[in-house]
Amino acid sequence: MDLTKRQQQIVEIVKADGPITGEHIADRLDLTRATLRPDLAILTMAGFLDARPRVGYFYTGKTASELLSEKIKKYKVHEFQQVPVAVKESVSVYDAISTMFLEDVGTLFVVDDHACLTGVLSRKDLLRTSMGHQDLTSIPVHIIMTRMPNITVCRRDDLLIDAAHNLISKQIDGLPVVKDTERGLEVVGRITKTTMTKLLVELTTDENI
């Protein structure tokens, strides 16, 4: 949304001196209140300004792009999480790779007997091990997995965009979605870069998202 010159002037005035009444904004611009009414209505509806009775207009601090990004910022992890795929700590690297292919996932979660998270295996972890000229059937995954507390997790009610931030900043492909229990972190879901790519596609195709 492009603002007119006058609308930009109004935003600047409110930014600097808000809260400020419509009358005062009109005075500053040497215009009548009636002339300004459409502009103030537009700026308020578009979310740049907010108005409170007997207080006046104040700046919401939002640019057009910020307003746009708010849509993305609302999404929660549980709205997009996929089913997690987990293996036990004693499983061999060979079997873990097989599971990865069978389930067609890029990240496996390693769990204890109570289904609680103890490790994460990425394709990268498995590939590194498989370069080592070792017998993959004889190495248990707990030897090579990334362990707690070095695992980045997220929870159902976290913001999806925070999960996206973590995927980028930690340079990982997937995050476990966990639930806090007395025995540890139960793995209930999976968030990956595929989740994010799908969201981007859905944002441009599904108007109900």
- Summarize as ranges the residues that interact with a second copy (CB under 8 A): 1-2, 37-38, 41-42, 45-47, 63-66, 68-69, 71-73, 94, 97-98, 100-101, 104, 106, 123-124, 126-128, 130-131, 136, 161, 164-165, 167-168, 171, 173, 192-194, 196-201, 203-209
Task: Output the smallest distance, CB 204 to a second copy, in A.
Answer: 4
CB of 3 or CB of 116, closer to a second copy: 3
Task: Output the smallest distance, CB 144 to a second copy, in A.
Answer: 13
Contact criterion met (CB below 8 Å) for 10 and 43: yes
Task: Output the smallest distance, CB 66 to a second copy, in A.
Answer: 6
CB of 117 or CB of 167, closer to a second copy: 167
Contact criterion met (CB below 8 Å) for 79 and 71: no
The CA-to-CA distance between both ends of the chain, in Å, stands at 21
Q: Which amino acid is at 1?
A: M
Q: Strand, helix or coil at 155?
A: strand
Contact criterion met (CB below 8 Å) for 171 and 139: no
Residue 27, CB-side half-sphere exposure with 13 Å CA sphere: 5
CB of 106 or CB of 140, closer to a second copy: 106
Give the integer Cα–Cα distance in Å for 79 and 94. 33
Residue 154 tokens read as 């997220």
Task: Output the smallest distance, CB 115 to a second copy, in A.
Answer: 26
Task: Output the smallest distance, CB 196 to a second copy, in A.
Answer: 4
CB of 176 or CB of 185, closer to a second copy: 176
